[in-house]
Structure 1
Amino acid sequence: MGLISYEMEITSSVPAAKLFKAFVLDADNLIPKILPQAIKSVEIIQGDGGVGTIKVISFGEGSQYKSVKHQVDGLDKDKFVYNYSIIEGDALMGVLEKISYETKIEASSDGGSICKNSSIYHTKGDAGITEDQIKGGKEKALGMFKAVETYLLANPDAYN
């Protein structure tokens, strides 16, 4: 098995606690509302939302993928850290065992936040994944982040 990783950092004017509540803790409800073309629905099939929870995420009409199984690997509500893995689904493209993610949201000195994301692609055997495939995943993640940020800026009383 091979490992391919990448990191991405995004700054936001939204405070860290508010961003974590919306982008992580309530993402299963919020993202299908504001981006139905990307995420159609999220269904918990095992667990209570904490570590060990398994969800089925169904993608919207605009996605090239149908669905994935998402497993919660870690959740620290005090430090704003969320770890999860994609463990099944067509987004693994038959060449990946899983994709592991960490999202860490930190307060910035200007009252906003810095969102640090890291991903590790666990490939099957000698299988590879292209830079374009990784770039596509990064762009989708950035698009979802920006949609949540835009929602929070337009709705300042949400998630206080």
Structure 2
Amino acid sequence: MAQVEKLELACEVSCPTDKFYEFMKKDVAQLPHILPEYYKSCELLHGDGKSVGTIRLWKYTLGGSEVLVAKETIKSIDDINKTITYSIFEGDLKHMYKSFDIILEVVPMGNNGSLVKWHIVYEKEHEDHPHPHPYLELLNKIVNTLDSHLHKA
């Protein structure tokens, strides 16, 4: 029987905590413009795009040519702890995982820097399905690209 598992990634960035967190909360739909090699489109299906209950349809790749789709909802937002939980509830991931949540946490570090933590909490549909390591790689690319992008902005 499958069980809930967790993968984690932590990345130091020089971007101020509030700037990184606010982008992920309010402007994450801009990722197709910032990382077009990975994100093909983001369509707002329900809500305002920045609050609990928002639903988006993402079209993306994991670095290859195959375009994948995912419907995501914002499950929770904690502005005090700068944490957002995104839940994938439909799309290609649902063929391999019963549940798939991505939790973002942005923690202040030093004078202006931040520690960006990602947690992927998932349950495999079948034990022989792979762990979602390619998604950690994608999240790492997001952090590094956004850090650079937000410094230019």
Q: TM-score, length-normalised on structure 1? A: 0.83
Report the equivalent of 1:74: 76
Query: Sequence identity, in percent?
Result: 24
Equivalences for residues 19-30 of structure 1 within 5 A: 19-29=20-30
Q: Alpha carbons of 1:63 and 1:98: their partners in 2 closer, same or farther (altered >3 Å)?
A: farther
Report the equivalent of 2:46: 46
* Cα-Cα RMSD: 1.9
- List structure 1 segments (4+ residues) > 6 angstroms apart after TM superposition: none
Q: Alpha carbons of 1:56 and 1:73: their partners in 2 closer, same or farther (altered >3 Å)?
A: same
CA distance in 2, matches of 1:136, 1:95: 14
String of CA shifts for 1:94-130, please: whole Å, max 9, x gaps: 2212211111101112321011111111222x43432
Report the equivalent of 1:34: 34
- Is this contact kept in 2: 1:65–1:90, CA < 8 A? no
Q: TM-score, length-normalised on structure 2? A: 0.87
**CA shift for structure 1 position 63:** 4.9
Report the equivalent of 1:9: 10
SS of 1:20 mapped into structure 2: helix
1:95 aligns with 2:93: no
Stretches of structure 1 that go unaligned for 5 or more consecutive residues are none
Stretches of structure 2 that go unaligned for 5 or more consecutive residues are none
